[in-house]
Amino acid sequence: MNHSTIDRLFDEGRGILRLAPNWVPRSFCRPGRRLRLHPDDYFCLGLKRGGIDERWFSSTTPADNGPGTPEDEGLSYAVSSDRKERALLTDAVAQLKGALIGETLYQKYGRWPMYSKFFDNKGPLPHHIHQNDEYAAKTGASGKPEMYFFPSQYNNYGGEFPFTFFGLNPGTTKAQVRDALAAFAKGDNRLTSLSRAYAIDVDTGWDVPPGVLHAPASMCTYEPQFASDVFAMYQSVLYFDHAVGEELLWKNCPPEHIGDFDYLVDVIDWELNVDPMFYQHRRMEPLPAGDEAAMEAEGYLDEWICYRCDTVGAKRLTVQPGHSVLLKDEVAYGLITVQGYGRINERELSSPNMIRFGQLTSDEYFVSEQASKEGVRFTNLSKEEPLVLLRHFARRP
């Protein structure tokens, strides 16, 4: 860790770090090709690593991709304006501590405790689960609450299956789920027959607490989540005959419980999964973060898009052509620009149409608590197109 480099990066942006694109492959996924990555680059890491179908934001969490995974995969880098210097966001947090992420967060976690991502798969994912703190701790990890939002700017098409299975049908029994899990290695265990699918609408979202089974739609999904990469796949065969390796059924399972299907059932938060009002309790539509009429009169709209989780959250900011707004959020946050171009204070802010692997962009930044409290000015330099960006928080402002 180079202290002088981190100091220079922090001072250059007056408390705002410019972040480089952070690409993550998954061997069990197929790219949906909506990440704006160049078509030739989705498999540039090699077939064994799999296609790139994720871009992680504001991440101090390494990707858990098994053998052959580089140590820094999944970790965000801050870069200088002249592209000559860079430093891991992890190291910046370790050095700057509360000056970067705020004393409240640093004292509680000793790290930046969330990240967000674009997840972009051509088909649906298996019905899977993220362990809560109790079960994740058994393998030395943290639990993983997460939320979904489906930005229209990154969803020009819905992929092969734009529907998400959430939870289990009311009345489903634990014995039925156990039987499905025990049949995992025998073929299609038909776990989703015990669940129900919801049609996904762009510019809406869902709250997914730990312990909730979910089989995400083939949409490009913005996912604010706690800083953890724990999961286990409970569905064996997907639509279009995509089989799931049995090792993923036992991922993040303590060695002494591998083969124990009752343990996998225990990981499920039963009350949440069979909630007959799941749609009403977990779906999210954008909510104005203030007086909507007053904001629109000033040429912008700030909205909560992910707000049902206690530990992470996200907002969407839209600045109309030719307008500017000074935002004070009081807490540190990361941001990704999804449409338009302009300025963040005096630095370039633009949403690229196409990115080559390894190329830098000006669409992602990390705003320190110090800068957030002082206020960050977002300016739309276009005469025609709105400037739209998504902001992810580890603590609600």
The pLDDT tens digits of the residues spanning 127-171 come to: 999 999 999 999 999 999 999 999 999 999 999 999 999 999 999
pLDDT at position 68: 85
Measured CA angle at 108 (ends 104, 113), to 5 deg = 95
- Burial bucket for residue 124 (CB in 10 Å: 0-12, 13-18, 19+): buried
d(CA 37, CA 94): 31
d(CA 393, CA 386): 23
What backbone torsions phi and psi does residue 186 show, to the nearest 5 degrees?
Answer: -95, -10
pLDDT at position 204: 98
The pLDDT tens digits of the residues spanning 80-125 come to: 999 899 999 999 999 999 999 999 999 999 999 999 999 999 999 9
For residue 56, the cross-strand partners are: 117
pLDDT at position 3: 76
Length of the chain equals 397
pLDDT (average), residues 185-213: 97
d(CA 234, CA 53): 21
d(CA 372, CA 391): 12
Q: How many CB atoms lie within 10 A of CB 123?
A: 16
Does the predicted model carry a pTM greater than 0.75?
yes
Q: Where are the domains of the chain?
A: 3-284
Task: Name which of 194-203, 237-246, 340-349 the model is least confident about.
Answer: 237-246
pLDDT at position 213: 98
Cβ atoms of 196 and 214 within 8 Å: the answer is no
d(CA 17, CA 334): 9
How does residue 395 score in pLDDT terms, banded at 50, 70 and 90? confident
Q: Which CATH architecture has domain 3-284?
A: Sandwich (2.60)
Q: How many CB atoms lie within 10 A of CB 234?
A: 25
Distance of CA 141 to the CA centre of its chain: 18
| Amino acid letter for position 106 | Y
pLDDT at position 56: 98
The pLDDT tens digits of the residues spanning 357-374 come to: 999 999 999 999 999 999
Task: Name which of 1-5, 37-41, 192-196, 349-353 the model is least confident about.
Answer: 1-5
Any residues with CB less than 8 A from the CB of 248 and at least 6 apart, and which?
28, 126, 232, 233
pLDDT (average), residues 258-262: 98
How does residue 59 score in pLDDT terms, banded at 50, 70 and 90? very high
